Amino acid sequence: MRTRTKLLAALLACLMILTVGSAFAEGETVTINFWHHYSAQSAENETLMNVLIPAFEAENPGIKVNAVSHEWAELHDKVLVSAKSNALPDVARCDIAWLPEFQKMGILVALDEEMPDFAEVSGKLLDSAMSTSVISGHNYALALNTNSKIVFYNKAMLEEAGVQVPTTMDEWVEAVKKLSGENANGQQVWGWNEPALAGWNICPFIWSFGGSLTNEDQTVATGYINGPATVKAVETFAELVKEGGITGFNSGDIPMTDGFGTGRYAMMLEGPWKSAELAGAYPDVAYGTAPIPAGEGGSISVLGGEDIAMFNSANKEVAWKFMQFMTSEFAETEMAKCGQIPVNKAALESETVKAADYAPFIEAIQTAKARPTVAAWSEMDNDLTVAMTAVVTGEKTAQEAMDELAAKWDELLK
């Protein structure tokens, strides 16, 4: 017993020394902290860690990049909380929908004011993409990538059900219904997958049905988010959910890529990164793409994309270097290989990008709309999810839920 205790103690001591040693072994370089939400297993993350950061560090000796990957929603929360605790990173890749909120918190650096060569750097990027970073006349970020969502459909499933690729919303409703039911194994299949009920997911339907979220000035929601066209979009969507045509937003559902790859979801609305994901995980699935079906409002998808922003606690000079690097032709071309549509003009002209066939997405971007660019968007987005949940579970009618939502949003937009 005695010797065993001693042995255990010795073992503990060894482990402690080992772990303490590893915890405090750090070099003397400038480290820049970069937060992003490239998912851990993705090709994007591989490119970032194995191609881009090594290249940047080789170009800039003495600078190290500490890249931290968060899940999308968690990244937003972490930035919010870190702002309160003065623990912000230097640079972050932010969803374009978050910028107004972060700007209002006063944590972003106005690049056009602080960076003397801002005009030169931003001139290399697409004006349309750069416009996502403009808040009350100043630029708070560099555009990093852009995207929009289009329909992905499983060719075999559509063929088997005798369904044409829907081009109008009426056809879409019919197609979703026809494609849902049971497969040969007796497993349930769904015509459409929608992985959440947030603005990113619901807006394309609202817009394509001719509805809207707020007025042009983004100051009032009543009459827009609860207007007849919006309510009709929400109703149609909820009806299909209730009939077993749409799923994916529940915790217990098969994840989107797996469900699509294994033939359980016939169609989905997704961005350019999905092609790379499917090629990696389900190379055998034959799928086609098409624009979102047109309704009264036309075929309107949602404008997505990320900007790269600098926080005011950053080591500005070094952070700026890294931001320039990330938006450079080289970095953007590398990222284009794994589904990120570049915004760097030179990268857009490169052979790689042309080969990637982003044409359908770039076409969708032409007509896509942006989610409201207001500071309260994250909160509004959460309210929207809550309201949509109440509608699809049948707890409230679409009109009731949207009326309540409109009142809440009016408060938030004041």
Partner 1 sequence: MKSLNGAKIRGMILRYFLLALGTVIFTLPMIYMISTSLRPNGALYEYPPRFFPKWEALTLENYSYILNQSKFYVNFLNSAFVSLSTITLAAAVSSAMAFVLGKFKLKVNKLIFGFIILTMIIPGTTMIVPQFELATKLNLVNQLWGLIPFYVAWVIPFSTFMIKGFMENIPGEIMEASWIDGASVWTVYTRIALPLASPAIASVSIFNFLTAWEEYPWANTVINDTSKRTLPIAIAGFFGQHQFTQWGYVFAMSVLTLIPVVLIFILCQKFFVQGLTAGSVKG
Partner 2 sequence: MITKSRLNRTQLIALLLPGLLLFAAFTVYPIIRLFWMSLCDMSFSSMLTQPFNGIENYKEVFQDPTFWTVFVNSIVYTLITVPGQMAIGLFTAILLNGIKRFSVTFRVINYLPVVTSWVIASLVFRYIFNTEGLLNYFLWKIAGVTSSNIRWLDTRWGGISVAMILGIWKGIGWNMVIFLAALQQVPQDLYEASAIDGCGAWGKFVHVTLPGIQGTILFALIELTIGGFNVFTSIKMITGGKPAHLTDTLLTWMYYKAFSTGKFGYAAALSFVMALSLGLLAIVQFRMMRNRDN
Taking the least distance from each CB to partner 1, the nearer of 49 and 134 is: 49
The entry of partner 1, partner 2, none that residue 102 binds, CB within 5 to 8 Å by partner kind:
none
Binding of partner 1 at residue 123 (CB under 8 A)?
Answer: no
Taking the least distance from each CB to partner 1, the nearer of 86 and 164 is: 86
The entry of partner 1, partner 2, none that residue 281 binds, CB within 5 to 8 Å by partner kind:
partner 1
Taking the least distance from each CB to partner 1, the nearer of 70 and 396 is: 70
Question: Shortest gap between Cβ of 339 and partner 2 (angstroms)?
Answer: 26
Between 184 and 203, how does the x/- string for binding to partner 1 read (CB under 8 A)?
-x-x----------------
Binding of partner 1 at residue 82 (CB under 8 A)?
Answer: yes
Q: Which two tokens stand for residue 203?
A: 């807006």
Which one of residues 7, 10, 30, 40 is an interface residue with partner 1 (CB under 8 A)?
Answer: 40
Binders of partner 1 among 14-33, rule CB under 8 A?
A: 15-16, 18-20, 22-23, 33
Binding of partner 1 at residue 86 (CB under 8 A)?
Answer: yes
Binding site for partner 2 (CB under 8 A): 73, 76-77, 80-81, 83-86, 105, 187-188, 249-254, 378-379, 382, 385-386, 389-390, 393
Question: Shortest gap between Cβ of 67 and partner 1 (angstroms)?
Answer: 8
The entry of partner 2, partner 1, none that residue 15 binds, CB within 5 to 8 Å by partner kind:
partner 1
Binding of partner 1 at residue 279 (CB under 8 A)?
Answer: no
Give the Cβ contact number of residue 281 at 10 Å.
13
Question: Shortest gap between Cβ of 244 and partner 1 (angstroms)?
Answer: 19
Question: Shortest gap between Cβ of 68 and partner 1 (angstroms)?
Answer: 5
Binding of partner 1 at residue 41 (CB under 8 A)?
Answer: yes
Taking the least distance from each CB to partner 2, the nearer of 139 and 180 is: 180
Interface ranges with partner 1 (CB under 8 A): 12, 15-16, 18-20, 22-23, 33, 35, 39-42, 66-71, 74, 78, 81-82, 84-87, 89, 185, 187, 254-258, 262, 264, 277, 281
